[in-house]
Structure 1
Amino acid sequence: MSKSFPSDSFMDASVADAGHELERLIQIMAQLRDPETGCAWDVQQTPETVAPYAIEEAYEVADAIEREAWDETADELGDLLLQVVFQSRIAEEKQRFDFAEVTRRIADKMVRRHPHVFGEAQDIRDDSAALTAQWEQNKEQERQKRSEHGALAGIPLALPALLRASKLASRAARVGFDWPDVSGVVAKVHEELAEVEAEIASGDKAALQDEVGDLLFSVASLARRLDLDPEACLRQANGKFTRRFEAVESLLALKGLTPAECDVEKLDAVWNEVKKQEKS
């Protein structure tokens, strides 16, 4: 069965509509930032004060997608796009760059990183391994142009720590700093856990923090070797814990109880009951 793609006329209309709405959004932001007639809060913002919102909005996009809440996803993507427009407007006021420069750079980068689509390397279009190698080579060349040297260069400090740990380990693995197989990573997790247990006995909180960090780093490395996203794994675990704990609260409420009124043994028994119900 052949794939169905939108007609050229439909695509042209969609692009034109998107261009119109994007221009409208840029104009709205310009009005909000007007020192005399704009919004006092928006006018007061700086790149530093707005930056955290971009991270928050990105997570809300990921959450909506994970829940397959597609109407919410469109809304959250709009919130994320607003952050790009907001930062671009502030930069334009300071004569640093504008939104056109932002879009020009990402468009040029996509063309540059996809020579198998836009250039002369179309012979590797269907070779996923070759495409990955080409992508990484292009990124490395870009890092060198920015005078970023070393295997770990360019990994943002602002990434969530668990995700950054996975990226650091992955980048190091590309130059051979890795275990031969996954059993080595599993052994490292056990080793780090034993060191955590030793520091618990010592009572040295600073050393304990260091060892717990090593344990989390090794767990992130294990997820990477298993071709899993550690952030996605933890989000799933968070969701599972939330679902089960709320079920515990509901079961206790049927008996006129709250978790605070129960001892550990009672809570554990209800928890195991919830787990059993999920599996049945």
Structure 2
Amino acid sequence: MSEAKSKPDLNRPEKLKAFDRLLTVMDELRENCPWDKKQTLETLRHLTIEETYELSDAILENDLPEVKKELGDIMLHMVFYARIAQEKGEFDVADVLNGICEKLIYRHPHIYGDVKAEDEAQVKANWEKLKLKEKGNKSVLGGVPKSLPAMVKAMRIQEKARGVGFDWDDQAQVWDKVQEELAEFKEEIEQNEKEKAMDEFGDVLFSMVNYARFVGIDPEEALERTNKKFIKRFQYLESESKKDGKTMGEMTLEEMDQYWEKAKEL
């Protein structure tokens, strides 16, 4: 196995010192704070999910100071989980860090071994093949978390299938599939077949996620941008109509549209 070399990190001592400080603070909180002493893996779980979404918001807003803050919150949670596991005699933070290092080295044979990978697609393909060899991964799709939001899950399913060669050849084929699914959805709606229409609508969304992937768009981010845009414009409608003495729920659609069009100009 070849040894990959990296440039020396002149700030490494400060980084290690900061991580050691976090471990020390975690130990002190776990031993002395009534709230921290009561926490379990289960009680922290929903808090970690919340922190992850807050990090996602900061990234979408390109708010780097907030990204730094949220990364700190998530790192605290990771150290917290490891501390709890250490108390149970299962593993500690060193086991966690060494584990991820070993996995990264194993899954990057083009860096640490003799495998050749000329582009990102080859790297992803090698990654999925190596995952299949690992214990517990009987399916290419086995590593997709069941609790992922549906749109994110669709993206991950498609990426993993592509990693083993199961994918369309070009985006024109994918767009044709989108049109096909839209026609089938429309047909079921026109026939008032609600259950079948729901299935077809799912197919439409799945095919749209597929097309977004082909043209390099993250569908989850795209939809969230639209959500934020709608919220901003709707709140403008609320605030400006209130200034004019009008009440939401009592205005006509035409009146509201006037404010909406103004909001689009901002």
Bin for the TM-score computed over the shorter chain: 0.7 to 0.9
Matched with 1:243 is 232
Distance between the aligned counterparts of 1:259 and 1:267, measured in 2?
A: 9
Q: Tell whether 2:202 aligns with 1:220.
A: no
Q: Which moved more, 1:60-69 or 1:237-246?
A: 60-69
Helix, strand or coil: the match of 2:72? helix
Q: Which runs of 5+ in 2 are unaligned?
A: 1-6
Moved more, 185-194 or 57-66: 185-194
1:122-201 aligned at under 5 Å gives the runs 127=118, 129=119, 132-200=121-189
Give yes or no for contact 2:174–2:211 (8 Å, CA) kept in 1: yes
Task: Report SS of the residue matched to 2:246.
Answer: coil
> How many pairs does the alignment contain?
260
Alignment check: 8 A CA contact 1:163 1:220 kept: no
For residues 1-20 of structure 1, the aligned pairs below 5 Å read 11-12=9-10, 14-20=11-17
2: CA distance, partners of 1:239 / 1:202: 35
Question: Cα deviation per residue 1:150-189 (whole Å; 9 max; x = unaligned)?
Answer: 3322112232211110121232344454444333333433
The structure whose RCO (Cα within 8 Å, separation 6+) is larger is 2
* Structure 2 length-normalised TM: 0.82
* Native 8 Å contact 2:58 2:66 kept in 1: yes
Counterpart of 2:18 in structure 1 is: 21
Shift of 1:134: 3.6
Query: In the alignment, residue 33 of structure 1 is paired with which amino acid?
Result: R
Instruction: State TM-score, norm by structure 1.
Output: 0.79
Tell me the amino acid that sits aligned with residue 18 of structure 1: K
Q: How much has 1:206 moved relative to structure 2? A: 4.8
Matched, 1:268 2:257: yes
Amino acid at match of 1:106: I
Q: What percent of counterpart residues are identical?
A: 37
Residue 141 of structure 2 aligns to a residue whose secondary structure is coil
Mean alpha-carbon deviation: is it higher for 190-199 or for 250-259?
190-199
| Aligned counterparts of 2:170 and 2:110: Cα–Cα separation in 1 | 32
- The letter for the 2-side match of 1:38 is C
Aligned: 1:85 with 2:82: no
For residues 228 and 210 of structure 2, the distance between their equivalents in structure 1, rounded to whole angstroms, comes to 22
1:42 is matched with which residue? 36
Range with greater deviation from structure 2 (246-255 or 154-163): 246-255
**Greater displacement, 134-143 / 226-235:** 134-143
User: Structure 1, unaligned stretches of length 5 or more?
Assistant: 1-6
